[in-house]
Amino acid sequence: MKEITHKLKLLLYDSKKGIFENKVFSIVTLVGAITCFVTFVININILTENYLLINWVIALLGITLSIFFYLSAFKGITQPLIFPFQILVSLILVFSWFYFQGIEGSAPLFFFLAIFLLIYSDNRKRYWTISVSFIFLAVVLVGLYFIKHEWFLDYIDDESRIIDLSTSFIISFTAFSFTVVWLKKKFDLERARTQQKNIELKKSKTELQELIATKDKFFSIISHDLKIPFSGVIGFSELLIEKVQEKNYEKIESYARNIYNSSQQAMELLLNLLDWSRSQTGKIKFTPIPFEMAGLIDEVTELFTETAKYKSITISKELPENTNCVADRVMIATVLRNLISNAIKFTWPGGKIVISAQPNDGGLEISVSDNGVGMKSSDIEKLFRIEENFSTPGTRDEGGTGLGLLISKEFISKHRTNIRIESQPGKGSKFYFTVPVR
């Protein structure tokens, strides 16, 4: 009994298990069996002996449909049963037509229910075949009723006819309503699942596009951007060798500085590539620890002393006494390195960069500001989209890939915040983010 109850619950409520068409067939045979047994019980008390044969045929059909339901719902056998089911339903309708006064009796009520159930139970999608066959059968039976009326049994009196019509209407309407409600629920569930799959497909498409853009970005950097600083190192090294022989110390210093700058650019790009590849493969673990932000800012700023000096850029710090925070120190160091490098790149010689920290909404807000070239709002929107491949040369034609900002955005997002930007063309830019203090 528990197994039967469990199967019925799965049939009625579970939309994930089993093929939808098989469930439809199971519920149709169940409804059909119940309808037959209810009809048999009602008719056995009101029909005369002339109608007992058809009533027992209805009972036999109920038993047959019960067997079909058992085989479909419990044994998973459905496909071989569909055609016999359709034949049985058609035969019982024909018998009912002859035994219950044709068009004037209760048989037409069950025709509407039968065509509905047969169409929904057929998993071969033979909808038009079933519909046309039923229309043809109905036309033949109606024609026979008028041509050979004597072949049809009449009710013994009007009261019997009214009782039969009333009970048949209630039975067929109840069965029809139950089936429609169940099917509507199933269709709603199937539609919801389809919509969810569409959402997942769109998400997969977006992820695939991002993956393709990431791959293109990677090969672009490898094939072009990484080559530029090394070409500079090689070229200036050759010139340096010549000037050493000439003992032209002024040129030697200039070329050595260019080699240093190219090496710095190459190192910065390699570090970003390393961080980016580790991030894309999930090999970077987010490890927040308590530390003092002022100390980290000093460490990172020290890396750019020579680069800033070369462009005569002043880097100042505005830090409060307490800069304790809780964040991933390695990630924040990478973010600061990229933001300061970016600020130096787009600041004019003789310009100024300010690195500040201040308490804000229970966190510590870190900002890197410059008085450089600035950006338009339309360019700001492109900065963090890898598919845009957006990058512009610096104030001394320094190259770039935009990779550093992409990495910075990803690292800051792991702290459940984001990088904000304020910028105006010709007035400079401000990049800032917030880290938790506890």
Q: Residue 320 is part of a domain; what is its CATH number?
A: 3.30.565.10
Give the residues across from 424 on adjacent strands. 428
Domain closes at, from 201, 217, 241 = 201
Q: Check residue 5 and give its pLDDT.
A: 55
Q: Check residue 33 and give its pLDDT.
A: 82
265 shares its domain with 383: no
Which amino acid, residue 33? A
Q: Check residue 170 and give its pLDDT.
A: 81
Cα distances from 251 to residues 245, 256, 273, 322, 427, in angstroms, run 12, 8, 33, 46, 34
Compute the average pLDDT of residues 322-328: 90
Q: Assess whether pLDDT exceeds 60 at residue 99.
A: yes
419 shares its domain with 335: yes
Domain count, the chain: 3
275 shares its domain with 290: no
325 shares its domain with 436: yes
Compute the average pLDDT of residues 218-237: 59
Minimum mean pLDDT range among 89-93, 118-122, 264-268: 118-122
324 shares its domain with 335: yes
31 shares its domain with 93: yes
Per-residue pLDDT reduced to its tens digit, 21-35? 666 777 777 877 887
Q: Check residue 167 and give its pLDDT.
A: 76
Domain closes at, from 157, 186, 201 = 201
Is 220 among the domain residues? Answer: no
Q: Assess whether pLDDT exceeds 50 at residue 13.
A: no
Q: Check residue 297 and give its pLDDT.
A: 92
Q: Check residue 420 and give its pLDDT.
A: 92
Compute the average pLDDT of residues 350-355: 93
- Matching residue, tokens 């809780």: 326
Is 209 among the domain residues? Answer: no
Compute the average pLDDT of residues 98-124: 71
Q: What does the chain come to in residues?
A: 438
Q: Assess whether pLDDT exceeds 60 at residue 46.
A: no
Q: Assess whether pLDDT exceeds 90 at residue 233.
A: no
305 shares its domain with 279: no
Cα distances from 312 to residues 261, 297, 423, 427, 430, in angstroms, run 14, 20, 22, 18, 20
CA-based diameter of the chain, in Å?
132
Compute the average pLDDT of residues 306-332: 89
Higher-confidence residue: 223 or 307? 307
pLDDT class of 16 with cuts at 50, 70, 90: very low
The rounded percent of the chain whose pLDDT value lies above 70 is 72
pLDDT class of 356 with cuts at 50, 70, 90: very high
270 shares its domain with 300: no
Is 221 among the domain residues? Answer: no
**If DSSP codes are grouped into helix, strand and coil, which group holds residue 324?**
strand
275 shares its domain with 305: no
Q: Assess whether pLDDT exceeds 90 at residue 260.
A: no
Q: What's the domain range around 158?
A: 2-201
Q: Assess whether pLDDT exceeds 50 at residue 163.
A: yes
Q: Assess whether pLDDT exceeds 70 at residue 7.
A: no
Is 212 among the domain residues? Answer: no
Q: Assess whether pLDDT exceeds 60 at residue 116.
A: yes
pLDDT class of 294 with cuts at 50, 70, 90: very high
**If DSSP codes are grouped into helix, strand and coil, which group holds residue 367?**
strand
408 shares its domain with 419: yes
Q: Check residue 368 and give its pLDDT.
A: 94
Q: Check residue 331 and give its pLDDT.
A: 87
Domain closes at, from 134, 166, 201 = 201
Instruction: Give the highest mean pLDDT range of 50-59, 160-169, 264-273.
Output: 160-169
Is 331 among the domain residues? Answer: yes
b/e for 325-340, b at 16 or more Cβ within 10 A? bbbbbbbbbbbbbbbb
11 shares its domain with 70: yes
The 10 Å Cβ neighbour count of residue 182 is 18
Is 271 among the domain residues? Answer: yes
Which amino acid, residue 212? I
pLDDT class of 290 with cuts at 50, 70, 90: very high
pLDDT class of 17 with cuts at 50, 70, 90: very low
Task: Name the nearest CA neighbour of 58 among 75, 73, 70, 41.
Answer: 41
Q: Check residue 219 and give its pLDDT.
A: 62
Higher-confidence residue: 192 or 171? 192
pLDDT class of 395 with cuts at 50, 70, 90: confident
315 shares its domain with 271: no
Is 215 among the domain residues? Answer: no
Which amino acid, residue 382? K
Strand ranges across the sheet with 420-424: 314-318, 352-360, 363-370, 428-436, 420-424
Cα distances from 201 to residues 77, 195, 206, 248, in angstroms, run 33, 10, 9, 65
Consecutive H or E run containing 210:
helix 158-220
Is 388 among the domain residues? Answer: yes
Compute the average pLDDT of residues 255-259: 71
Compute the average pLDDT of residues 355-361: 89
